[in-house]
Structure 1
Amino acid sequence: MNGIPQIVGAFEHPTRLSPDKTAAQLHAEAARGALTDAGLTKDDVDGYFCSGDAPGGTMSMANYLNLRLRHCDTLDVGGSSAVAQVAQACAAIQMGKCNVALITQAGRPKSSGVTTGTKKIVKDSLAPDLIWELPYAVPNVANYALVAARHFYEFGTTSEQLAWVRVAASHHAQHNPNAVLRKLVTVDDVLQSPLISDPLHRLDCCLITDGGGAIVVARNEIAASLGRPAIRMKGAGLALKHQEGGAIDLTYSAAAQSGREAFSQAGINAADIRYASIYDSFTITVVIQLEDLGFCPKGKGGAFVADGNLIANIGKLAVNTDGGGLCNNHPANRGGITKVIEAVRQLRQEAAPEVQIKDCGLACVQATGGHMATRHASATLILERT
């Protein structure tokens, strides 16, 4: 067994609209950026990980990128794929299957004309539930509105509390030159934006953007030779939650299990975390995951996020200091990789100075993929600067 692998490269593609590029080209440019950040080249890569956003999967992308691989994997758990693949890459390296692993995620839904919050959750596929969902064409936002409405009913959560998630994101995005929405917003701004699916307003919904990102993970000995800050995975968890034959509880997510596994492996708890990257497809998504990860008790998430408590260096817990999917970037409708990238920036002390957490030694990365009201996956990472 090799030593603990390290994240040595991270890159977020600067584009948010790319009508002149293919999805494969975005993958390639993100890969080059992450390898340059690590001080490596494509010829050093012998492991490759991608997901459903990669055209043609690993075979086609390895050919396009001209990679000579000993190991590859295509895991598709939606927006949590890239987060889960960091753990997969570390495991593959420790098993001796590869020495340098590349993870890419990219796409161009904005150039393809996808409209925020209204993309149908069904696809041309033979997945077993689709024959029941096709007649209703349930939009993504309606799924999350159902979750929000249940949380409101069970715990007294309010639209004003959800709005604070977007307010915090805007406070962070103003310091990110690549963010799509850099304008500060208030709670009233969120509440006065159009109601998309009750109780979610337009400003409760994430962006749809082109772009992408990449991560490079390397064997410990290689990482040590590169002179980059050492970022290692301290804990990881992966879980699925679905309809369980009708036993549906909309008040929690699969993060309850994946988070428990990650924190247990890391030997810490939520109180030890200084920075958290939390998947923010909608404002309610953040509230649910913060509860499930143990940052606050179940049902208290609304109060936890209110009054600026997610704003860096002001509130209780800095969340999504790049502006997140709500204000910065949500490439390929799969924002997981950007969550890893901003956590790496924070741990390296490379975040924007206005949002950098002093002496940030531990970070939590959390992402869900799929649809929280029906079937979804959750991946959790605990990252540490050593």
Structure 2
Amino acid sequence: MSIRGAAYIVGAYEHPGRVLPDISAAQIHAECAFAALADAGLSVTDVDGYFCSGDAPGGPVAMADHLGLSVRHVDSTDIGGSSYVAEVAHATQAIAVGKCRVALITMGGRPRSGGRRAPASTGPAYAFEAPYGHSNPASYALAARRHMHEYGTTSAQLAEVKVAASVHAAHNPHAFLPKPVTVEQVLDSPYIAEPLHRLDCCVVTDGGGALVVVGPEVKRDLARRGVKVLGAGEALKHTDRGRVDLTCTGAVWSGPRAFEEAGVSPGDIDYASIYDSFTITVIETLEDLGFCEKGAGGRFVLDGALQAPHGALPFNTDGGSLCNNHPANRGGMTRTIEAVRQLRGEAAPALQVPDCRLAVVHGTGGWLGTRMGSATMILGQEDA
């Protein structure tokens, strides 16, 4: 069964706060939930499906209680930063088979203010990897170094991803890092895990977001412009007992599945929301989604290719996780919200992609050098 056209995103909200020491994670979830529902023209009493992930305090039962929800379907998938891309697909699936009519998806966290952080452990292998210095930045650095070795990718090419994100963040009044940077400034910043510099790494912020997904029969009664879910794919990638390929992500499997279901190709895409935990994440994901040949990602991003509105593939026009917002290590939510803005024509005016009709959203959860969850989604304007 295909989910193409089975549901629409009709409400979207990103919390404007980036440093929130005085409110709880539960309150962030609640503020985002109520604002997204208001954006959709719906209320809490309309919601009959609730979706969250590991950042939800107490899980879906506690949060449904906190929000005052009466629901008949819940989902608390946790595949890291890709969770909320997957949750939109799961909400669409649930709507398609009649499990719910109005799905609310919430995310929120306070990692910058000392709230709940992502766990240091990544499962059974942690005790065998951590003593040897394997960490989140080190894992991505390992992938970056291998990509450089295999394909000649350079640090300057990685820096172009950060430059594009920073140019976009300058148009976002809420961005954590709103100042544009140059390739030279990226390369001059200190190493965090060689070859990745500090400016190759995402920000750490508080914040959150929420989405409302409904079926066509609910959408018909709403005045708010919707965004159609056209296709989705998910995949897990791990070490494969030591046979891991460091130069690719799970997008190599989730991407083709999403494009096939949507009935479109990478060449049809007007805008890309790509999880940018590190600059190397974007390079590898662009290759794996089919926007360029494997190994050509470093060359693909040159000459302003990622910069809106007229680059070859405008990406992350809110500034992304590299510059704007990365709450609770769940960048799939903010990536989806910005894709909704672009398809509604509500992005920053200077960065609005002309006649933006199709967008790809991709989330990466976990570590590039070891194991990850990947989720890809194709979204279109409501008449797509």
Which position in structure 2 is the counterpart of 1:128?
A: 124
DSSP 3-state at the match of 1:103: strand
Give the conservation status (yes or no) of the 8 Å contact 1:109–1:209. yes
> Once the 2 structures are TM-superposed, how far is the Cα of residue 314 of structure 1 from its aligned partner?
3.4
DSSP 3-state at the match of 1:383: strand
Whichever residue aligns with residue 265 of structure 1, its letter is E
Give the conservation status (yes or no) of the 8 Å contact 1:121–1:137. no
Which position in structure 1 is the counterpart of 2:251?
A: 255
For residue 316 of structure 1, the aligned residue among 312, 316, 320 is 312
Taking the TM superposition and a 5 Å limit, the aligned residue runs for 1:203-282 are: 203-282=199-278
1:380 is aligned to 2:376: yes
In 1: Cα distance, 2:308 partner to 2:207 partner: 25
Which position in structure 2 is the counterpart of 1:92?
A: 94
> Once the 2 structures are TM-superposed, how far is the Cα of residue 121 of structure 1 from its aligned partner?
6.6
- In structure 2, the CA distance between the partners of 1:120 and 1:92, relative to structure 1 (3 Å rule), is closer
Give the conservation status (yes or no) of the 8 Å contact 1:120–1:140. no
> Once the 2 structures are TM-superposed, how far is the Cα of residue 122 of structure 1 from its aligned partner?
3.0
Whichever residue aligns with residue 227 of structure 1, its letter is A
Which position in structure 1 is the counterpart of 2:37?
A: 35
DSSP 3-state at the match of 1:225: coil
> Once the 2 structures are TM-superposed, how far is the Cα of residue 137 of structure 1 from its aligned partner?
5.2
Which position in structure 1 is the counterpart of 2:295?
A: 299
Which position in structure 2 is the counterpart of 1:59?
A: 61
Whichever residue aligns with residue 76 of structure 1, its letter is D
In 1: Cα distance, 2:88 partner to 2:133 partner: 33
In 1: Cα distance, 2:73 partner to 2:324 partner: 33
Which position in structure 1 is the counterpart of 2:11?
A: 9
In 1: Cα distance, 2:115 partner to 2:343 partner: 36
Give the conservation status (yes or no) of the 8 Å contact 2:310–2:353. no
* Residues 309-363 of structure 1: per-residue CA shift (max 9 Å, x gap): 1001232110000000011000111111000000000000000000000110000
Give the conservation status (yes or no) of the 8 Å contact 2:109–2:115. no
Taking the TM superposition and a 5 Å limit, the aligned residue runs for 1:145-156 are: 145-156=141-152
In 1: Cα distance, 2:21 partner to 2:133 partner: 27
Q: Give the TM-score, by structure 2 length.
A: 0.96
Whichever residue aligns with residue 348 of structure 1, its letter is R
Taking the TM superposition and a 5 Å limit, the aligned residue runs for 1:76-225 are: 76-112=78-114, 122-123=120-121, 127-136=123-132, 138-225=134-221
> Once the 2 structures are TM-superposed, how far is the Cα of residue 163 of structure 1 from its aligned partner?
0.4
Which position in structure 2 is the counterpart of 1:336?
A: 332
In 2: Cα distance, 1:130 partner to 1:120 partner: 14
> Once the 2 structures are TM-superposed, how far is the Cα of residue 73 of structure 1 from its aligned partner?
0.9
DSSP 3-state at the match of 1:346: helix
In 1: Cα distance, 2:118 partner to 2:88 partner: 29
* Residues 240-275 of structure 1: per-residue CA shift (max 9 Å, x gap): 000111111101110000001000111111010010
DSSP 3-state at the match of 1:291: helix
- Aligned residue pair count: 380
- Structure 1: where are the runs of 5+ without partners? none
* Residues 135-155 of structure 1: per-residue CA shift (max 9 Å, x gap): 345221110000000000000
In 2: Cα distance, 1:14 partner to 1:243 partner: 37
Q: Give the TM-score, by structure 1 length.
A: 0.96
For residue 49 of structure 1, the aligned residue among 35, 48, 51 is 51
Which position in structure 2 is the counterpart of 1:20?
A: 22
